[in-house]
Structure 1
């Protein structure tokens, strides 16, 4: 009985060992390389898989996810013989698990070394200033060089990014001075451009103001001329109306005598005003004319008075 129990336990343990050796569960985004009697046999995909115990063995396990690889910092010499410390990060992915297992003894180390040597070669063809401007070119060149070589290792290099470019302290100080000088130059240029624009704006404003003043003066002169013309026209029309009325009055009875009387009054009044302006005695050149004019005026007055008397007296019967 004891021997049967021991045999059953042994068989159970052996079955558990066989199951553990023969049943494999591969996680997602993983690939396992199986060797049979030391030779490549198959690549296990994610899921449950059964292999032959003690004959097959899982030799390599690969992650199929994108893997970031930190490339160690190194000193590179630029084309103008300036030392530059560069470090970066590389992103790659295993695409062929069999090649990744047998193509290189350590494909991670191979990629790292190749990235460093390629970086030194590219930096050596560029001047210091260009290394800061051509980061995209450097990254692209390293990816192309690595991807071509890594295809034999079952690896796809996705991208390379430079993390830092550090020049020596002396070069860094000189670059800072250059940047400061460039900024000061741009500030001076901006200030001069501002002053130039200010002068242009002032000149433009003065020109427009002068144009507006001249337009105002011209319009004022036009308005004044139009006002004077209207005034002259109004005076002329008034004089014409007065002359028409005088002419109409002359045509009436006694109109001619009234005109003669008015002229005589103005004649006498004019000589009176001239006499008051100075000590000189003004005598008409022809006293007979003055006398005849006064006589005519008196005659008109008498005629007007008699007409008034006759008009107001009652006739005898």
Structure 2
């Protein structure tokens, strides 16, 4: 029987790049017919006589490619980074690793082909609501790899579709726990959380998520405008703060300059006054030394000169006259004796007047004003005997 007849009977399927056992109908075919079919399949596979661009139900995706299941030609070569899941009489038997493999005719069938390479799938744009009730449009790229071909074959119907849906739901859940500001600022942490959640859920599928990358985040237009206004206000605030800090520092510098100028001026005044005081003190000392030397010379002259005492008396008389002048300026009443020729008496009276005036100044409240005047008069005018009263 020709291969075309077997194809019409549904025993085989003509697909590129070889032949596929579409249905397990060989069990209903006689043994001799089965042997001839297998020989024809082997020769057709070697010659590559059958090719078709039509996808048959037996075709499976391998990585990002879609191809048909390998045909049981007894001897098979498994490509690198692929795992073939073999079933024997409809039940899982083993997993073929890269290299040479042998299959039992009719009984063994390659049911699934799993690619062990890293696969990238695009996550379509979806809507998510943040914790502060802002609707975002997000899309991303998911990278995964099959780590357990058995679970990937029997644990889930379509691993790629399932992991894509899981990535979308996980992204919505993670976005709902974060505010808009955190979503924009902590994108890396969001990617890590999504990967961890996917790996936890996809453990039974034999799939491991390597990484997830959010490509674009599109907030609503009004939110974008509000963010732009916020950025502008923040920049204006920073500019005002910097300007005020500059003015503050300038005022501090000016005040510090005035302070230093005042301190230096006060130091100069202090130094000037100290120098003036030192000069005045030196002048007083010099004047005192000169006065002392003058007194010493006067005393020496009085002692050495025979007329020294007369000169002293003359000086005392001059001082006496000056003292009377000062008493008149102060409004003090003084009675001048009539005997002005007696200088000794005048000196004695002058000394007595000064003595009484000094005592009166020391005790101003001891005697009234009239009493003080009377005391001075008693000193200047000798007391006369009171005449006896007439009988």
TM-score exceeds 0.5: yes
- Pair 1:22-2:61 in alignment: no
SS at match of 1:180: helix
**C-alpha contact 1:86 1:166 (8 A) present in aligned 2:** yes
Q: Which runs of 5+ in 1 are unaligned?
A: 1-9, 248-255, 257-317
SS at match of 1:86: strand
Q: Using a 3 Å threshold, how does the CA distance of structure 1 residues 43 and 206 change in structure 2: closer, same or farther?
A: farther
- Pair 1:93-2:150 in alignment: no
Give the corresponding residue for 2:168: 116
SS at match of 1:191: helix
**Structure 1 position 154, deviation (Å):** 0.4
Higher helix share: 1
Q: Using a 3 Å threshold, how does the CA distance of structure 1 residues 213 and 102 change in structure 2: closer, same or farther?
A: same
**Structure 1 position 84, deviation (Å):** 1.3
Q: Using a 3 Å threshold, how does the CA distance of structure 1 residues 201 and 58 change in structure 2: closer, same or farther?
A: farther
Give the corresponding residue for 1:82: 134
SS at match of 2:103: coil
Q: Give the alignment partner of residue 132 of structure 1, picking from 159, 184, 191.
A: 184
Q: Give the alignment partner of residue 169 of structure 1, picking from 194, 197, 221.
A: 221
Q: Which moved more, 1:209-218 or 1:145-154?
A: 209-218
**C-alpha contact 1:26 1:44 (8 A) present in aligned 2:** no
Matches of 1:110 and 1:19, distance apart in 2: 30
Q: Using a 3 Å threshold, how does the CA distance of structure 1 residues 19 and 120 change in structure 2: closer, same or farther?
A: closer
Q: Give the alignment partner of residue 245 of structure 2, picking from 193, 208, 231.
A: 193
User: How many residue pairs end up in the alignment?
Assistant: 245
SS at match of 1:72: strand
**Structure 1 position 75, deviation (Å):** 1.9
Q: Using a 3 Å threshold, how does the CA distance of structure 1 residues 205 and 68 change in structure 2: closer, same or farther?
A: farther
Matches of 1:153 and 1:128, distance apart in 2: 33
Q: Using a 3 Å threshold, how does the CA distance of structure 1 residues 125 and 230 change in structure 2: closer, same or farther?
A: same
- Pair 1:32-2:83 in alignment: yes
**C-alpha contact 2:130 2:177 (8 A) present in aligned 1:** yes
Give the corresponding residue for 1:218: 270
Give the corresponding residue for 1:52: 103
SS at match of 2:202: helix
- Pair 1:147-2:199 in alignment: yes
Give the corresponding residue for 1:64: 116
**C-alpha contact 2:141 2:215 (8 A) present in aligned 1:** yes
SS at match of 1:173: helix
Which gives a bigger RCO, structure 1 or 2 (Cα 8 Å, sep 6+)? 1
Matches of 1:205 and 1:65, distance apart in 2: 74
What's the TM-score, normalizing by structure 1?
0.59
Cα-to-partner distance string for 1:2-30 (whole Å, 9 max, x where unaligned)? xxxxxxxx99x76x969975141532xx1
Cα-to-partner distance string for 1:46-101 (whole Å, 9 max, x where unaligned)? 4x323226354544343434433321111223345432111122232221121112
Matches of 2:281 and 2:125, distance apart in 1: 97
Matches of 2:119 and 2:271, distance apart in 1: 84
**Structure 1 position 211, deviation (Å):** 1.9
Matches of 1:86 and 1:104, distance apart in 2: 26
Matches of 1:138 and 1:79, distance apart in 2: 14
- Pair 1:42-2:94 in alignment: yes
What's the TM-score, normalizing by structure 2?
0.49
**C-alpha contact 1:86 1:162 (8 A) present in aligned 2:** yes
Q: Using a 3 Å threshold, how does the CA distance of structure 1 residues 199 and 26 change in structure 2: closer, same or farther?
A: same
After the TM superposition, which residues 221-236 of structure 1 pair with which residues of structure 2 at under 5 Å, given as runs? 221-222=273-274
